[in-house]
Structure 1
Amino acid sequence: MSSAFEVRGGNRLKGEIIPQGAKNEALQIISAVMLTPEKVTIHNIPDIVDVNLLIELLGDAGVKINRITRDKCEFQADDIDQAYLQSADFKKKSGRLRGSVMIAGPLLARFGKALIPKPGGDKIGRRRLDTHIIGFEKLGARFNYESDDNYFRLEAPGGLKGTYMLLDEPSVTGTANIVMAAVLAQGTTTIYNAACEPYLQQLCKMLNSMGARISGVGSNLLTIEGVTSLGGCQHTMLPDMIEIGSFIGLAAMTQSELTIKNAGVESLGIIPDKFRSLGIQLEIRGNDIYIPSQESYEIQTFLDGSILTISDHPWPGFTPDLLSIVLVVATQAKGSVMIHQKMFESRLFFVDKLIDMGAQIVLCDPHRAVVIGLGRQHPLRGITMSSPDIRAGVSLLIAALSAEGKSTIQNIDQIDRGYQYIDERLRNLGADIKRV
């Protein structure tokens, strides 16, 4: 029986909140420890299900793990159990965890073979592995798909060789996986149309501090000169920008005065401006974001007066992970906005729950929704609902905190996968939320 959140909405929150380490960065950074036999120390690890499962999986594979505190951990991959990485137990465990795909690049680079499960995780539409597999193939790996147990088996008996490649899409995990494979390949690898998200920049910085030679970091053209081995390092993860965006939206919807501490402001890109375009006032104070209590906020129009459209785009565009949050926040604004979710075809399927709560939303198709903001004339009302994916889960939680009456959110394992102790941290700000 999975647990649920019981939320009584309508409280104004107040105080300071510190964002967790970035989930999407963590899965790449923690996989990269497999590239060296030396000790790697990682700071600001988020204490969430997806990350803890990956750490456990590495431990099962023979990585020595010393979790000094929940957010600081030492890893040493000097005695990897190769047999375990081909075993049924590994297949079963890695198949449950979407992030396990990320250890394929390091394993292929260092040991010449890897298994990749067909992805699980969020129900937000197809998530292809083509970019990963084609990239590995270009570096000289061969692959077989084993349909009986849903696995890709990769082998590079002659080692990996550097090459030029143009990715079919700037996949963040795909780019990261290929980069991790290429750092130990012979010769030079050039990746064009590479993802340039902060997560990936962090991975490249970490690899360079281990002795890799990656240039073009932050651009969509990466050049990687292969080296024969990598050493240990210390690495601190960025704060989670999705959590930061979620807290900005939460403050606006609940008319709360919040300060988001240590927000890694220089890595947020366009995110603060997108929330400002919804009429949300926020001030950058050093590395903190201050959101004053606002009675109302009004969605801006484009300069010619036409209705605002907010769509997702590869970095430095707006991240798809925050579109669900923007959509929810727009329901209580004044004015209308079109939300266009280009990357995933079922990320908007949670809007029916918001409509049940009294929001005015027209779902045009699986990718587009028009939100007609009611300027708080009709507050949302609490209902019982279930969370289909991590980001929708938090969007529904934010809706519930601003709604009248009691809401019950089921399937909150989805929320726990991405947000650490979220109920406890919100209670500290004055939210009425309990886990049942």
Structure 2
Amino acid sequence: MSSFKIQGGKALKGEIIPQGAKNEALQIIAATLLTAEPVTIHKIPNIRDVNKLIELIGDLGAVVEKLDSESYRFTAKDLDVSFLESEEFKQKAASLRGSIMILGPLLARYGKAKIPRPGGDKIGRRRLDTHFLGFEKLGAKFNYSSKDSFYSIDATNLAGCYIHLDEASVTGTANIIMAAVLAKGKTTIYHAACEPYIQQLCKMLNRMGANISGIGSNLITIEGVESLGGTDHTLLPDMIEVGSFIGLAAMTQSEITIKNAGVEHLGLIPDVFRRLGIKLELRGDDIYIPSQKHYEIETFIDGSIMTVADAPWPGFTPDLLSIVLVTAIQAKGTVLIHQKMFESRLFFVDKLIDMGAQIILCDPHRATVIGLDRKQQLKGIKMSSPDIRAGVSLLIAALSAEGESVISNVEQIDRGYQYIDERLNQLGASIHRLEQ
């Protein structure tokens, strides 16, 4: 297990390029299983969750070629679906939440699949119902064995249909789209997720020969085709990294330029940070954040306390609420953070309170942050990273704090942020990785 030793209180300066989007990568890599032809993907981040999925794709029999540090070619010509019965598959798939994404492609192409209950962050209940209800509507039959925690799905006769999703699940929408592209007939998905990553997946599938319309809306129509071909695809910049760097700059009074930030795909993200009082300039596809000693949280027009809440796209992404919360610690004013989608994501605030933050945890979904306005610094402590986003939030707090902090279990951070210690050290941070 690795730890970060951080010497806080240093202002950073310079340029940083966000990695390719993790959440898009998991969908796009799974989609390479839909065709026997080569698919080349660029800007793949070197992070644990993505690397585990690439390894799993290779174990299934796909030929995986690493072309350079960020580009791979996948050729899933001859897959060995019997690997799904192995103990090795059970162990690997159970440790990776993203393993659920291989179901849609395997059902579409081979008519069957198995998967153990996936792992991932312990951030609350994360239902798989949307995936399976969608597959069932398409004609799949599934069985869950409580004895070995395996889901088995039979989809020998997938046929297009009308599907009204019970929730706008991003991974559920992606999985159903990938199952439907090779199903017979027309599939209509209403209440579909429409995140930029779903749009990217649909555009890639269309280049491969799929027939998908309604891209960017919550009503997606898919006309099934016989087969798909190969293509090249470049991942978007990771919007969660972009938001993390904005928060980091504000908390540490740093002057940072985020290069190639994918500004047109960020939605509300720049505006939410502006509501915290953070100055930022959009310069083409770059974001410039000047050094700020003070930033003041806005109130609503009637003078009531600002609330920042998550919502399905085009609302504010839940993956950045932890970053907004920690950034508000040194603002002037008060903000209510409302994490609607996951009931355990705010529990890390006890560490921030130990560092000197003024936060009231109202319930599992809501926390009120009373900004310190730089009147006192946070102090360094020892803590542990509970999940990817909370881990980076604690890292931001530690970089702004007085003295030394130690964050253990940084493998959680490594799951979502590539070389984060090295990249921030290049801007002037003091982060030392300790291997135990």
TM-score between both structures, scaled by the size of structure 2: 0.99
Indicate whether 1:63 and 2:62 are aligned: yes
* 1:92 CA drift (Å): 1.5
* 1:410 CA drift (Å): 0.4
Alpha-carbon distance in structure 1 between the residues aligned to 2:396 and 2:51: 25
Matches within 5 A, 1:281-296: 281-296=279-294
2:95 aligned residue: 96
Alpha-carbon distance in structure 1 between the residues aligned to 2:408 and 2:149: 30
Tell me the alpha carbon deviations over residues 5-25 of structure 1, each in whole angstroms, 9 at most, x when there is no partner: 000100000000000000000
Identity %: 73
| 1:55 maps to amino acid | I
* 1:119 CA drift (Å): 2.2
Residue ranges of structure 2 left out of the alignment (5+ in a row): none
2:304 aligned residue: 306
Tell me the alpha carbon deviations over residues 277-334 of structure 1, each in whole angstroms, 9 at most, x when there is no partner: 0000000000000000111100000111111000000000000000000000000000
1:344 aligned residue: 342
1:28 aligned residue: 27
Alpha-carbon distance in structure 1 between the residues aligned to 2:2 and 2:89: 27
Indicate whether 1:323 and 2:338 are aligned: no
Indicate whether 1:370 and 2:368 are aligned: yes
Conserved 8 A contact 2:43-2:71? yes
1:414 aligned residue: 412
* 1:238 CA drift (Å): 0.1
* 1:212 CA drift (Å): 0.4
* 1:346 CA drift (Å): 0.3
Indicate whether 1:382 and 2:377 are aligned: no
Matched pairs, number: 434
2:261 paired residue among 260, 263, 273: 263
* 1:70 CA drift (Å): 2.3
2:146 aligned residue: 147
Tell me the alpha carbon deviations over residues 334-388 of structure 1, each in whole angstroms, 9 at most, x when there is no partner: 0000000000000000000000000000000000000000101011000000011
2:431 aligned residue: 433
Alpha-carbon distance in structure 2 between the residues aligned to 1:302 and 1:207: 42
Matches within 5 A, 1:55-204: 55-157=54-156, 159-204=157-202
Tell me the alpha carbon deviations over residues 39-61 of structure 1, each in whole angstroms, 9 at most, x when there is no partner: 00000000000000100111111
Conserved 8 A contact 1:119-1:127? no
2:229 aligned residue: 231
Alpha-carbon distance in structure 1 between the residues aligned to 2:375 and 2:115: 51
| 2:297 maps to amino acid | I
Secondary structure of 2:220's counterpart equals strand
* 1:81 CA drift (Å): 0.8
Conserved 8 A contact 2:318-2:339? yes
Conserved 8 A contact 1:358-1:379? yes
1:245 aligned residue: 243
Alpha-carbon distance in structure 2 between the residues aligned to 1:374 and 1:291: 21
Alpha-carbon distance in structure 2 between the residues aligned to 1:50 and 1:82: 22
Alpha-carbon distance in structure 2 between the residues aligned to 1:70 and 1:155: 38
Tell me the alpha carbon deviations over residues 168-200 of structure 1, each in whole angstroms, 9 at most, x when there is no partner: 000000000000000000000000000001111
Secondary structure of 1:394's counterpart equals helix
Secondary structure of 2:84's counterpart equals helix
* 1:129 CA drift (Å): 0.4
| 1:98 maps to amino acid | R
Alpha-carbon distance in structure 1 between the residues aligned to 2:306 and 2:115: 41
* 1:83 CA drift (Å): 1.2
1:15 aligned residue: 14
Alpha-carbon distance in structure 2 between the residues aligned to 1:116 and 1:325: 33
Alpha-carbon distance in structure 1 between the residues aligned to 2:92 and 2:320: 29
* 1:82 CA drift (Å): 1.7
* 1:151 CA drift (Å): 1.0
Conserved 8 A contact 1:390-1:415? yes
Alpha-carbon distance in structure 2 between the residues aligned to 1:226 and 1:314: 27
TM-score between both structures, scaled by the size of structure 1: 0.99
| 1:283 maps to amino acid | E
Conserved 8 A contact 2:159-2:185? yes
Alpha-carbon distance in structure 2 between the residues aligned to 1:116 and 1:168: 22
| 2:328 maps to amino acid | A
Alpha-carbon distance in structure 1 between the residues aligned to 2:390 and 2:272: 18
Matches within 5 A, 1:37-48: 37-48=36-47
Alpha-carbon distance in structure 2 between the residues aligned to 1:70 and 1:161: 40
Conserved 8 A contact 1:215-1:222? yes
Conserved 8 A contact 2:181-2:224? yes
Conserved 8 A contact 2:84-2:115? no
* 1:268 CA drift (Å): 0.2
Conserved 8 A contact 1:171-1:195? yes
Alpha-carbon distance in structure 2 between the residues aligned to 1:91 and 1:188: 34
Secondary structure of 2:49's counterpart equals helix
Alpha-carbon distance in structure 2 between the residues aligned to 1:316 and 1:168: 18
